[in-house]
Amino acid sequence: SQQGEEDPQALSIQEGENATMNCSYKTSINNLQWYRQNSGRGLVHLILIRSNEREKHSGRLRVTLDTSKKSSSLLITASRAADTASYFCATGYSGSARQLTFGSGTQLTVLP
Amino acid sequence: SQTIHQWPATLVQPVGSPLSLECTVEGTSNPNLYWYRQAAGRGLQLLFYSVGIGQISSEVPQNLSASRPQDRQFILSSKKLLLSDSGFYLCAWSGGGRGGNTIYFGEGSWLTVV
């Protein structure tokens, strides 16, 4: 399967701490994207990193990509209770009309 | 700007009844369109995708079907619902082409089959 796998499945931290989520995949990719899903809502795109990039920042988000290890990490700094959500990585493959393959997600809980 | 609308938001249907979920996209043309299903607390399962009017690709064989009667309209249907069809259904769109475009999701439809 080309599906990405997130680790951990669930993460609980205190407000103000950093949260790190990891994603591993199996075959070469065009890009890797991270999405957020609040409970009972649709997914929202957070950030995209291309296969030739190693690190990308967006506000409190930092994404790294290691294509040699076929892995990515999402770091949320100075977490807030409002960051509580599920986070999914999604991998994009060359020539795929399906566009993206989603992992099973990490449920992040930020305690106030 | 582009928007995606999906309805109904919530649906409770008896086993054996038909289903129709509808999705429309505004502000873009020739989008790729997708239907996903998400079981409670689980990841996304791609059900169907479409790269153009009348072009539907099925990812998972089941009693669901999809149709794209217009460029920006995508419909998910079933003639007879099963209990196992319960779940959260998400419509989505992306730009045309292949290879990892960003996907934009609707707000989802909760289906409970009783």
Give DSSP secondary structure letters for B4-58. Answer: EEEE-SEEEE-TT--EEEEEEEES-SS-EEEEEEE-TT--EEEEEEEEETTEEEE
What value does the mean pLDDT take over residues B18-45? 92
Please give the sequence-ordered ranges of beta strands (E in DSSP) within A51-105, or none if there are none. 55-58, 61-66, 71-76, 85-92, 100-102
Q: Can you tell me the mean pLDDT for A58-74?
A: 97
How many residues in total does chain A contain?
Answer: 112
pLDDT in tens, A21-60: 999 999 889 999 999 999 999 999 999 999 999 999 999 9
The pLDDT assigned to A1 comes to 45
- Please name the amino acid found at residue B87: G
> Is A45 close to B104, i.e. CB distance below 8 A?
yes
pLDDT above 90: percentage of residues in chain B: 81
Asked whether the predicted pLDDT for residue A2 surpasses 90, the reply is no
Residue A78, min C-alpha distance to chain B (Å): 25
- The answer to whether residue B70 neighbours chain A at the CB level (below 8 Å) is no
Give the model's pLDDT for residue A77. 98
CB–CB of B100 and A45 under 8 A?
no
Angle at Cα A21 formed by Cα A50 and Cα A62, nearest 5°?
50
User: What pLDDT is recorded for position B53?
Assistant: 94
Look at residue A98 in the predicted model and tell me its pLDDT. 72
Contact B99 A100 (CB under 8 A): no
Q: How far is A15 from chain B (nearest CA, A)?
A: 23
B44 - beta bridge partners?
B38
Checking if the pLDDT of A97 tops 90, the result is no
In angstroms, the CA B111 to CA B74 distance is: 17
Taking contacts as CB-CB distances below 8 angstroms, the residues of chain A near B90 are: 42-43
Q: Model confidence over B36-80: pLDDT tens digits? A: 999 877 789 999 999 999 999 998 867 899 999 999 999 999 999
Q: In this structure, what token pair is assigned to residue A91?
A: 């991998």
Q: How far apart are CA A15 and CA A18, in angstroms?
A: 8
What mean pLDDT comes out for the span B23-36? 95
Give A-chain residues touching B57 at CB under 8 angstroms. Answer: 97-98
**Do A35 and A44 form a contact (C-beta atoms < 8 A)?**
yes
| Best A99, A101, A107 residue to mutate vs chain B (most B CBs within 10 Å) | A99
Q: Which residues of B touch A91 (CB under 8 A)?
A: 100
Rounded mean pLDDT of chain B? 92
pLDDT band for position A8 (cuts 50, 70, 90): very high
Q: Report whether pLDDT(A17) > 80.
A: yes
Q: Does residue A72 have a pLDDT over 80?
A: yes
Pick B74 or A2 by higher pLDDT. B74
CB contact at 8 A, B89 and A86: no
